[in-house]
Amino acid sequence: MNFRNAVIALSTVVLTQICLAQTSLPLSMTEFTPAETNQRGKLFPQVNAEGRVRVSISAPQASGVQLDIGGKRYDLVKDEKGIWTGESLPQDEGFHYYQLIIDGAAIPDPGSLCFYGAGRLGSGIEIPAHDRVFYALKDIPHGLVSENIYYSRLTGTWRRCFVYTPAIYYEDNTSRFPVLYLQHGSFEDETGWANQGKANLILDNLIAQNKAKPMIIVMDNGYAFKPDENKGQGSSAQGASNFEEVLMNEVIPMIDRRFRTIADREHRAIAGLSMGANQTMRILMNNLDRFSYYGGFSGTSNYPDADEIDPGIFLSGKFKDGEAINKKLRLLWLGLGTKEPVPFPGSVGAFRNMLNKQGIRYVYYESPQTAHEWLTWRRSLNNFAALLFR
């Protein structure tokens, strides 16, 4: 190495050390690639094999920029062109919501696609999972996710649901199909299961491998409210929740009219994640004559406790006759991640204790090394759907 090259190399090392000293970001030497959740043609954000997220944004006039992901904030470093760049610590596999903080203002990353979650339309990023093959996009027959708009007289508003129909649905016009009603979690909406959850790809792959029966999936918005009596029909003011009434009296009849369903309880399932798990459990137990399969993914503390087998406690009276429930339900399925925070494991544990006490059959699944997040729920749907309508 000549003297000039040695000086350049030494200068590079010194400058790198200075940059590292100016930020809390552990800049990694491993290769980064654009995330699959990027807008078309965008180089940032990027991810690497360690699960680190690297972001970059031009903000010459900003005095400070941070990356907000996984409950932590990371300082970015500005170069001479006013471009801020930095990265996070390793993130868990799967999908993550995130945002950029510019001079205290939270904004979506302009390089990322937007997803509705955490109560806002904002950035999301996919950290490749080691088992992602089950929701990967493959060269197989694919179903269709359609937007279905309807007017709800019970809420006085226009609403929509998304409906997945399997590829085989379009191969002839005579076959009829069972239906799964699948609900999102809190601060999410009817777009979640198709966008973040990849429900259509999960079912496409299962069906192509003959691991699941072809089925229709209906994804509606769990936030449904009676019109405020003081404001009248169509008011934006929220009255009491009436999602159960909307689903049972408007959505299910509409789906049975518009699609080739097998419209009986033996061919109808209901499931949900988090808030949706609790909503669908309530709906199930109030309508055992309409559903024969249930899936609860990461259900929360609204589940009844083992010692609360009393009609006065939420839902508890519905579980008194375990033998009758076993005759009605072909499948009661529960799942959560091994890293879920309190109260989820304890709540589901108490619910399982109650089911055991009542002699009610169920299937229990734990997603390894995942928390209250979409990879938990993707894995849950993958396992649950394979058992439906058998």
Output the CA torsion sign for 308, 309, 314, 315. positive
Which is the CATH superfamily of the domain at 23-128? Immunoglobulins (2.60.40.10)
Residue that wins the pLDDT comparison between 278 and 316: 278
3-state helix, strand, coil in the chain (%, to 5): 30, 30, 45
The pLDDT confidence band at residue 316, using thresholds 50, 70 and 90, is low
pLDDT of 135 above 90: yes
Q: pLDDT category, 303, cuts 50, 70, 90?
A: low
As a whole number of angstroms, the distance between CA 190 and CA 240 comes to 20
Mean pLDDT of the chain: 88
Q: 387 vs 300, which has greater pLDDT? A: 387
pLDDT at 385 over 70: yes
d(CA 85, CA 260): 52
Helices (H), the chain: 3-21, 192-195, 199-208, 243-246, 252-258, 275-286, 322-328, 344-358, 374-385
Q: Which residues pair with 145 in a beta bridge?
A: 164
Question: Structure tokens of 99?
Answer: 């945002």
Domain layout of the chain by residue ranges? 23-128, 133-385
Confidence of residue 145 (pLDDT cuts 50, 70, 90): very high
Predicted pLDDT of residue 155:
96
pLDDT given for residue 15 in this prediction: 36
- Burial (CB < 10 A; 0-12, 13-18, 19+), residue 237, is exposed
Q: What is the pLDDT of residues 320-366, one digit of tens each?
A: 899 999 999 999 999 999 999 877 787 888 888 889 999 999 999 99
Q: Say which CATH class 133-385 falls into.
A: alpha beta
pLDDT tens, 63-77? Answer: 999 999 999 999 999
Note the pLDDT of residue 231: 56
In sign, the C-alpha dihedral spanning 120, 344, 389, 261 is negative
> Would you place residue 228 in the very low, low, confident or very high pLDDT band (cuts 50, 70, 90)?
confident
- For 101-132, write each residue's pLDDT tens digit: 999 999 999 999 999 999 999 999 999 999 99
Q: What is the pLDDT of residue 239?
A: 66
Quote the percentage of the chain above a pLDDT of 70. Answer: 85
Question: For the residues 78-89, what does the mean pLDDT come to?
Answer: 97
Residue 313 has pLDDT above 60, yes or no: no
Closest CA to 347 of 301, 380, 304: 301
pLDDT at residue 300 in the model: 64
Q: What pLDDT sits at residue 315?
A: 57
The whole-number pLDDT of residue 335 equals: 95
Residue with tokens 């690639």: 33
Look at 22-31, 50-59, 84-93, 276-285 and tell me which has the smallest mean pLDDT. 22-31
